[in-house]
Amino acid sequence: DIQMTQSPSSLSASVGDRVTITCQASQDITNYLNWYQQKPGKAPKLLIYGASTLETGVPSRFSGSGSGTDFTFTISSLQPEDIATYYCQQYNTVLWTFGQGTKVEIK
Amino acid sequence: EVQLVQSGGGLVQPGGSLRLSCAASGFTFRSYWMHWVRQAPGKGLVWVSRINNDGGSTTYADSVKGRFTISRDNAKNTLYLQMNSLRAEDTAIYYCARGVGGASRDWGQGTLVTVSS
């Protein structure tokens, strides 16, 4: 199975800060990577698919990049409503795997 | 509007069985692969199983293989997860999700399964 290593596990930043989360795959997954946002008590929400394509309706302050084994998710200017846990997910194989999640808090 | 409405969760004893349902509306159910994803209390997301659009192909995570069975009834627009030989470590919120490409764009509200004596 492909393992997804996400870091950091949590972070605290101020409103307006740039926030970056990384996700590393245990083998080459080309660009078969998605990013999700999950708020407490809610189902996950797809933000980015194919490593860098923004889902319709998602604010442009969210972005993704990378290919192969190393990927980055960025919030260009953190907003209070972005408080959530973020997960990467690979779909290079039929056995999907998620990263461990990154909890984003406001400082 | 796409809707996935889940039912069937609850408290079950170790070794017991439970069947989850996920009723779909707002899209052509028979055209999409469907997935189950779970989340243990306070933990991360874990993919459980997927089924192709006509039900002819299924895949399972190693942790549930041989115990869980995913199925669908395209006439009823409903996805199922039959869970047998349940263990304490199966305690989680279970989500159904619609697969579009390699992503899950739409999710059910989640249903809690608690395995405890």
Nearest to B110 among A43, A49, A85 (CB): A43
Residue with tokens 């442009």: A60
Residue type, A38: Q
Interatomic CA distance for residues A55 and A60, integer angstroms: 10
**Helix, strand, or coil here: A84?**
strand
Can you list the alpha helix ranges (DSSP code H) found in chain B? none
B95 vs chain A: nearest CA distance in angstroms? 8
Q: What was the pLDDT predicted at A69?
A: 98
The pLDDT tens digits for A36-71 are 999 999 999 999 999 999 999 999 999 999 999 999
A17 vs chain B: nearest CA distance in angstroms? 25
**DSSP codes of every residue in A44-83:** -EEEEETTTEEPTT--TTEEEEEETTEEEEEESS--GGG-
A58, A48 Cβ separation under 8 angstroms: yes
B103:A34 CB<8 A: yes
B20, B94 Cβ separation under 8 angstroms: yes
Interatomic CA distance for residues A75 and A19, integer angstroms: 5
The pLDDT tens digits for B21-34 are 999 999 999 999 99
Interatomic CA distance for residues B51 and B84, integer angstroms: 18
Interatomic CA distance for residues B39 and B54, integer angstroms: 27
User: If pLDDT is split at 50, 70 and 90, which confidence band does A95 have?
Assistant: confident
Please say if the pLDDT value at position A30 is more than 90: yes
Q: Is B95 on the interface with A (CB under 8 A)?
A: yes
A91:B110 CB<8 A: no
- How many C-beta atoms lie closer than 10 Å to residue B70's C-beta? 22
Interface mutation target, options B1, B3, B45, chain A, most CBs of A under 10 Å: B45
Interatomic CA distance for residues B97 and B24, integer angstroms: 10
Q: What was the pLDDT predicted at B11?
A: 97
